[in-house]
Amino acid sequence: MAYEPEGQDREQRPGERLARLLRRWWEEAGRVPGGTRPTQQALASRLGIDQTTLSRYLNPRHASTAPPRVVEALHAHLRAPAGELERARELCRAVLEENNRQGTADHGPEPTGGTDTVNAVNGMDGVNGTEDTDGTEGMQDTDGREAPSQSRSQPRFRSRWAVPVLVAAAVVLAFVAGAVVRDQYASHPRTAADDVAAGAVPASGTPLEWPLLRKRTEDQYTRGRALQHLLMAHGYEVKADGFFGDETQDAVMDFQRRNHLPSDGKVGKDTWPALVKPVGPGADEHTVLALQELLHNTGQGGTEVSGEFTAATAEDLRFFQRGHALPPTGRADVDTWLALLVFQRPPADAPAYQRSMSPLPSAPA
């Protein structure tokens, strides 16, 4: 029988419910005929993850959520009821959708002019984002009384806006077609930055913006380490510790000069697209490390940071891409890099494998 939480569990978030389900699988593994409950250390070894990560997956109070491949492996190793696998998969999808909505709300920039202006252009109510479907607000009948909202006025509203919307759509399509033709026959060489001038567009429709990194004394965690790994992939000798100090700034400025970018030592919308590289099987170690650092900290958890682009890395990447309206290719292009850099969770500390490498930040002068 599929596991269905009761009482207060029904009101818990999908991540907590998934963790409770996985923990019950582990606790009841010894009760299955012919089965024995493995220790978490032994189980983590079979799954190819560390014990700390597994403990987080089995702890409803922790934010980490097991990705689908780990859930499926746990189901097989622990001989959990067959009917509960699909339930676990549904919870995985629910967690990803929840993380996507939360990340978009936290990071999605508001368009210039405010939401009221944008909504007004699209025929939307500026307060709650709904269409003024009756089209009668502020109008009066022939007796001077305010006309009541009636459903028969809806077709009038739609016909009034149909032609302007179609005209606007035609203008946009013509503009896009012109831009494609221009880029196709332009004589200048294309760069990665040309492909992401406006940033990727997630499911919410709001373009993403490249995060800005600059010299600071504080640890900048995964984004900082990803930047440093990418610099190393371009031949610079820097330490991947997350601290954006003089060494990292000097490397950034030299990279900018070599690539004809403003040499200000800041990494933003111009420098990131030039730094990132396509990633897939056979990619160089430091580029893969940068990708895995970011992928591990997106909320789906469990990505091994090894520097080797494995089948598990590709599967985790496809899972991330599907959740952010990107083509699920299992390879990282510039749009995938942008989404990975934007949808990062704030870590409480450097990961265990990194702590011995992270020095204390020096006091400001």
Q: Over the stretch 308-351, which tens digit does the pLDDT of each residue have?
A: 999 999 999 999 999 999 999 999 999 999 999 999 987 645 55
Res 205: pLDDT: 61
DSSP annotation of 349 reads S
For the chain, the distance separating the N- and C-terminal CA atoms, rounded to the nearest angstrom, is 64
Please name the residue that has the structure tokens 């031949």. Answer: 235
Predicted local confidence at residue 45, as pLDDT: 78
Unique residue bearing structure tokens 């089948």? 311
Residues in the chain predicted with pLDDT less than 70, given as ranges, are 1-11, 32-35, 63, 100, 102-161, 175-205, 301, 347-365
Task: State how far the Cα of 290 lies from the Cα of 230, in Å rounded to an integer.
Answer: 6
pLDDT tens-digit readout, 131-172: 333 433 344 443 444 444 444 444 444 556 677 777 777 877
**pTM of the predicted model, to two decimals?**
0.49
Taking phi first (over 0 means left), then psi (-120 to 50 degrees means alpha), and beta for anything else, what does residue 211 get? beta
C-alpha dist (Å) from residue 178 to 174, 183, 221: 6, 9, 41
pLDDT of residue 68: 85
Tell the residue number behind the tokens 């900290």, with chain if given: 297
Contact 304, 315 (CB under 8 A): no
- Whole-angstrom CA distances from 307 to 83, 230, 287, 300, 329 are 37, 12, 8, 19, 19
The answer to whether the Cα torsion of 299, 303, 305, 307 is positive or negative is negative
Percent of the chain surpassing pLDDT 70: 65
Q: Where does residue 165 fall: left (phi above 0), alpha (psi -120 to 50 degrees), or beta otherwise?
A: alpha
Q: Which residues contact 212 (CB under 8 A, 6 or more apart)?
A: 266, 267, 268
Q: What's the length of the chain?
A: 365
Query: Can you give the pLDDT at residue 11?
Result: 64
